[in-house]
Amino acid sequence: MELWNRVLSLGAAGFLWALLICCVIDCLETDINCLKTIKASVQDPLNYLNYSWNFDNSTEGFICRFTGVECWHPDENRVLNLKFSDMGLKGQFPRGIEQCKSLTGLDLSNNEFSGPIPDNISNITQFATSLDLSSNSFSGQIPVSLSKCGYLNSLRLDHNQLSGQIPPELSLLGRLKSFSVASNLLTGPVPTFGPNASVTADDYANNPGLCGGPLSRCTAKKSSSTKIIVGAATGSATLTAIGVVIGMFFYLRRVSVKKKDDDPEGNKWAKSLKGSKGLKVSMFEKSVSKMKLSDLMKATNNFSKNSIIGSGRTGTTYKAVLEDNTLLMVKRLQDSQHSEKEVMSEIATLGRVKHRNLVPLLGFCMAKKERLLVYKYMPNGILHDHLHSLDDPNKAMEWTLRLKIGIGAARGLAWLHHNCNPRIIHRNISSKCILLDADFEPQISDFGLARLMNPIDTHLSTFVNGEFGDLGYVAPEYARTLMATPKGDVYSFGVVLLELVTGERPTQVTKAPESFKGNLVEWITELSNNSQLHDAIDRFLVGKGIDGEVFKVLKVACSCVLPAPKERPTMFEVYQLLRAIGERYNFSAENELMMPIDSGDSDCLEELIVAREARDQNG
């Protein structure tokens, strides 16, 4: 019977794989049609497309050599970005772009496109992280549907002929970091964007009547006020009544706006829990005092905006301060299609996962449709902020601390891959999910939470993850297989090591020449090919007498981000290499990580985990 069940499981996995292949093939054909439609719909007086876009070739990846086309992989007809800047193209907005289903970036800047921006722009660029329509002749109003492009990090509409008001709904773009509508014909108040956005008065310059935000305050025009009063004045009693009504309107509006500002999601979900305040928080740790949902709500000020300390694809994290001043973290998970029984089972499993380099799950509470996880608080925040958010460059991390964090994080991830039962693939390793305790001991967060998300959400947010705004952590093979593997985690961890050694962000390489448009891994690869890897080392680490150690860690990082998964080391091997480099600092004890449970090579480990996940997805 067991053998038969295994055969059925393999058959189901095979069916899933075949279905995925069919889906990918269909998407690739659609991308070719996408480019054909674009070429047919635009005028190309400079012949950028006419000379380069030849569809007679039928080899895999042939469109990746087209001018202005970037693919997910050079050997696959799957469009990642379209960059048509400065090509002299003319015509209406090329609606055929909608057929490029995997598109994450569109740049039409510095051309001669005209006419309106399509009302259904959110359907055309629904997964875009970057949209640049600047320096054209687009006219009409800015479509409200742009507010549904939830993955946007950058939106440029400047230097066009757009008119009317900026839709206030654009403030819903919570991941937006840069925005510009300068040099248009826009009027009215500007939107209020979230804390991630860096929008200045220059981004609104040269418009006839914008106000609010970084601009001057919005005030009612006297002429309009006079017309309203004259039209309404039928007697002093009427005027008094109107004054009362107007006063009440603005009072209620101010109260409403204040409440909305206090809560990033309108506080509807938190308010809906009022009837469940008496629910107990189930605790895995006996050392933590018993709590009720009401205690968590009070500790987070009813989950107010000011209590948010992190937000990502798995949910929003709040800082909770209990009455005895105990600090905790409370994560509100994203919605999913999983049943309550499935969620309870997964959370119970995660509650049993204990390791010094994993953020401990202390408890949970399920109220109505909400799922709240309670974690130990990490007072030194996230690694990302220590590496990339320095106000004072002189406060850069010392090498010993960077090495300690690298070794500890490798130890935690290796334990998840090789010793944890069940084994766990993280799927979202980055410098933002490595938290630091009071002693700067690294602890990995969000492990195991990917299994609580909807599969389509997991895939899409892996690629167009606004939390990071880039594809810098994603292993290249994921674009072809959509299957998470341990070697994918190794790749992501390799990028974190590169951050530790170089001080650079995954896709913003400040030390690279302006002509370089690649990400951190591509920059390192280029330096390696030219025997210039030493140029990658963070300037704060140079000349400190530790060049040998730094370079050894850099070489480990390079092995982690090799293009072929089989050429990368396992996380156990990564940990052992880093541990040997930092041996003189006594960061690790001899028995902190046992040999992997599996006998055989690392590929068998990958196949076991992938097969189990395929089996689980097929029931």
CB atoms within 10 A of CB 546: 16
Range of weakest confidence among 64-73, 332-341, 542-551, 576-585: 332-341
CATH number listed for the domain at residues 2-211: 3.80.10.10
pLDDT at 255 over 60: no
Q: Measured between alpha carbons, how far is 610 from 602 in angstroms, rounded to an integer?
A: 12
For range 278-306, the mean pLDDT: 76
Amino acid at residue number 535: D
- Which range in 376-390, 519-533, 545-559, 603-617 is most confidently predicted, on average pLDDT? 545-559
> Could you tell me the pLDDT band of residue 500, with boundaries at 50, 70 and 90?
very high
Tokens (6 digits) for 519 = 């990400």
Q: pLDDT tens digits, residue range 213-252?
A: 888 888 754 333 333 333 333 343 333 333 433 344 344 3
Range of weakest confidence among 98-112, 315-329, 444-458: 444-458
For CATH 3.80.10.10, list the domain ranges present in the chain.
2-211
Asked whether the beta carbons of 93 and 113 are under 8 A apart, the reply is: yes
CATH number listed for the domain at residues 380-617: 1.10.510.10
For CATH 1.10.510.10, list the domain ranges present in the chain.
380-617
Q: What is the pLDDT of residue 220?
A: 53
Q: What is the pLDDT of residue 345?
A: 75
Which positions ≥6 away from 507 have C-beta within 8 Å? 469, 470, 471, 472, 519, 520
Is the whole-model pTM more than 0.75? no
Q: Measured between alpha carbons, how far is 294 from 34 in angstroms, rounded to an integer?
A: 53
Measured in whole angstroms, the distance separating CA 398 from the mean position of its chain's CA atoms is 28
For range 276-287, the mean pLDDT: 64
Q: pLDDT tens digits, residue range 349-392?
A: 788 888 999 998 888 888 777 788 888 899 999 999 899 876 56
- Separation in Å, CA 388 to CA 340, 385, 441, 524: 39, 5, 19, 18
Q: Measured between alpha carbons, how far is 419 from 355 in angstroms, rounded to an integer?
A: 10
Q: What is the pLDDT of residue 267?
A: 53
Q: What is the pLDDT of residue 265?
A: 47
Asked whether the beta carbons of 516 and 509 are under 8 A apart, the reply is: yes
H or E segment and range at residue 408: helix 399-418
> Which runs of E-coded beta strand occur in 253-360?
280-283, 291-292, 308-312, 315-321, 327-333
Architecture of domain 270-377: 2-Layer Sandwich (3.30)
Which residue intervals of 484-591 are DSSP H helices?
486-502, 520-529, 547-560, 571-581
Tokens (6 digits) for 150 = 């939830």
Q: pLDDT tens digits, residue range 477-495?
A: 876 777 778 999 999 999 9
Helix (DSSP H) and strand (DSSP E) numbers for the chain: 17, 21
Q: Which of 191, 108, 188, 106 is nearest to 153 (CA)?
A: 106
Which residue intervals of 503-570 are DSSP H helices?
520-529, 547-560
For range 398-413, the mean pLDDT: 95
Q: pLDDT tens digits, residue range 328-349?
A: 898 887 665 556 677 777 788 7
pLDDT at 93 over 60: yes
- Rounded to 5°, the CA angle 556-527-558 comes to 15
For CATH 3.30.200.20, list the domain ranges present in the chain.
270-377
Q: Which of 91, 205, 189 is nearest to 138 (CA)?
A: 91
**DSSP 3-state assignment of 508?**
coil
**DSSP 3-state assignment of 68?**
coil
Q: Average model confidence (pLDDT) for the chain?
A: 77
